[in-house]
Structures are given as C-alpha cells and as structure tokens.
Amino acid sequence: MFNRRSFNKILSALLVSPLMSCQSNPKDNASHKPLVLSTWNNKEANLIAYQILKENPSSILDAIEKAVNSVESNPLDVSVGYGGSPDSSGNVTLDACIMDHNGNAGSVCFLKDIKNAVSVARKVMENSPHVMLCGQGAKEFALLNGFTVFDLLTPQSKNKFLKWKEKAVFEPEINSERHDTIGLLAINSLSNLSGACSTSGLSYKLPGRVGDSPIIGSGLYVDNEVGASTATGYGELVMQSCSSFLIVELMRSGMTPMIACKEAIKRISLRTDIENKQVGLLALDKLGQVGAFALRRGFNYTVADINGLQTLESEYFL
Ligand code: SD4
C-alpha cells in the first residue's frame, strides 16, 4: 500500500542509486521495467507511479492517475489543476485525458471547478459510453460521479492574473518557468503501456480555448503494440501536427522513440509561426526505450526506473 513512509524510502533509495542516462544506452531499459516517464521536473509524480507499479504491475492506471493527481493537487504547479493559471476572464479551465493498454481512452476539456481532471477523464473512460466530455457536461458528469466543487484559483494565481490584466497581452509560453503540464507515460513489468496528460492550458488563453492535452493523438497517444507518446508546450502546434499519434506511427514503422520525436519536431519546425513557442515531445516504446526532443532549449523530462530517478535536459532543434 502506498503511504508517505514507503514513498520516502523509495525516494531515498532511488536518489542514492547510480543514475544512468536512458539515452546513452537505451537497450538497457528493455529489461528494466517498470519505467515511468514524464514531462518536466515531476519527480514526486514519477515516484508515486513507479512505486505503485513495483508493488502491483497490473495497477498501471492507478499508478498513472495517482501520479498525475499529485501534480493537479499541488497549488505551486502553475499549469495544472489547483493553482493553474486562469484564462483571460479569470476562470481556471482544465483539460486532461488518459489511455490504457487496451486502447481505451477518456478525456475532459474546458472543465471548471473540479480539482482532479484526470480522474474525471478516467471515469469518462470507464463509466460512460463516450471518450470526451466538455465544459458544463463534463462538470455535471463529475458531480454525478462523486467529485465536489473546488475553487481552483489560489491567492497567488489570482494576484498574478490581476497583474496580467493591467496589460492583458497574451504571450506564448516558452519553458518550465512559465508552464509545466504533466504528460506521463508508463510501462509495467508485463510490458503494458498506459499514459495520461493534464493541464490548465496556456495562461490567459481566450475563454473556451482547448489545447492539445485532452485530444487523443495530440497531447497523448498509446498503442500497446508499439509505444506511447505525450506532448507539452504550445498546444496549437501539437494539434496541427497530431504529434503523439504521429510519433507512435513513426515508431511502428521502425524508428526509435528518440528519432520519432525528432522527426515530429522537425515537421513542426517547418511551420512559419513557431517564434517564441516551445513544444516538448516524449515517447516510450514496448522495449522501455525512451525518446525526448523539443523545438528549442529548455524542455526537461523525468524518468524513474530501476536505475534511479533523474530529470534530464532534452535535446532540441533550434
Ligand atoms: C496547452 N500543451 O494547453 C498545453 C500547455 C502546456 O505546459 O503544455 N503547458 O497548449
């Protein structure tokens, strides 16, 4: 059973173990499952998922959900759940999705007043005949399924918004200083893959805007025969190129996760509207090999596996 003491124990064990780069010798990971991979410096989330997977490989969805919940519930994370940046009218609206190794998917977008959007997405996947619920319908579905209304603005995010409102200029967000959406992929010891993605989206977006994160094939895609992929950054660029689906298909055609991420970024880089915009892509294949590539410098990602826990700087295009 997961508890704070066992979490601390595994945290110290992982932090003192020799850390190896999964990129320097990617084949090593084939026998080193489970493995958890996430966007940005989300060490606690990775550890939560890793520990659950170690104890019970078949609880892969619980592992992913609990890990993502830890970020959604953290008021200091300014791009996800509670404490996430609001839109230009001051409302926090959440996007999230989840996919399992059977190809099932659940998603919510433009969800207000509910803290753990990924858990609602999981309920959509498991308790409804649909894949995606939006706005008021998603909120009503959440309330019917036991979620409670929660004010997602913190005093800090409210003050920041009020300051932003003085000028009210929308600017793309480059790196983790400004955003840190969680996209998390995992493979268990049975070689099953699953993933999830959760965000409050771009800060001060237009009301009603939905990004890539809840879109199956853009912010997340999992195909248990091949691999999984997730994205962070400027969602419009990710949606215009269906990055996660593209990466999985490129892996299907034989590319390594790393080369597939690179190819997907290369396609984005050909666009004319990428100035000041960041995209970070992650991929994980059936062997447990990891890939990460970004449009520009500043994207990092976190890996937990038998070799330890580390946050790595991604390679980048520009
Ligand atoms: C979006 N991709 O809504 C998300 C933003 C993001 O870290 O990744 N923020 O476009």
Q: Is residue 181 flagged as an active site residue?
A: yes
pLDDT digits (tens, 9 = 90+) for 100-140: 999 999 999 999 999 999 999 999 999 999 999 999 999 99
Task: Give, using CA atoms, the residue closest to atom 3 of ligand 1.
Answer: 201
Residue 9 pLDDT: 52
Number of residues that make up the chain? 318
Is the distance from the beta carbon of residue 305 to the nearest atom of ligand 1 less than 6 Å?
Answer: no
pLDDT digits (tens, 9 = 90+) for 156-187: 999 999 999 998 888 766 554 455 799 999 99
Is the distance from the beta carbon of residue 232 to the nearest atom of ligand 1 less than 6 Å?
Answer: yes
Q: Which residues contact 178 (CB under 8 A, 6 or more apart)?
A: 78, 203
* CATH level 2 (architecture), domain 11-316: 4-Layer Sandwich (3.60)
The mean pLDDT value for 241-255 works out to 98
Residue with tokens 């009210």, as numbered in its chain: 168
For residue 291, pLDDT over 80 is answered with: yes
pLDDT digits (tens, 9 = 90+) for 44-60: 999 999 999 999 999 99
pLDDT digits (tens, 9 = 90+) for 195-238: 999 999 999 999 999 999 999 999 999 999 999 999 999 999 99
Residue 178 pLDDT: 53
Is the distance from the beta carbon of residue 213 to the nearest atom of ligand 1 less than 6 Å?
Answer: yes
Is the distance from the beta carbon of residue 139 to the nearest atom of ligand 1 less than 6 Å?
Answer: no
* R_g of the chain computed on alpha carbons: 18
Pocket test for ligand 1, best of 88, 181, 242 (most atoms within 8 A of CB): 181
- Name the average pLDDT for the chain: 90
Active-site entry in 39, 93, 154, 181:
181
Residue 100 pLDDT: 98
Residue 89 pLDDT: 96
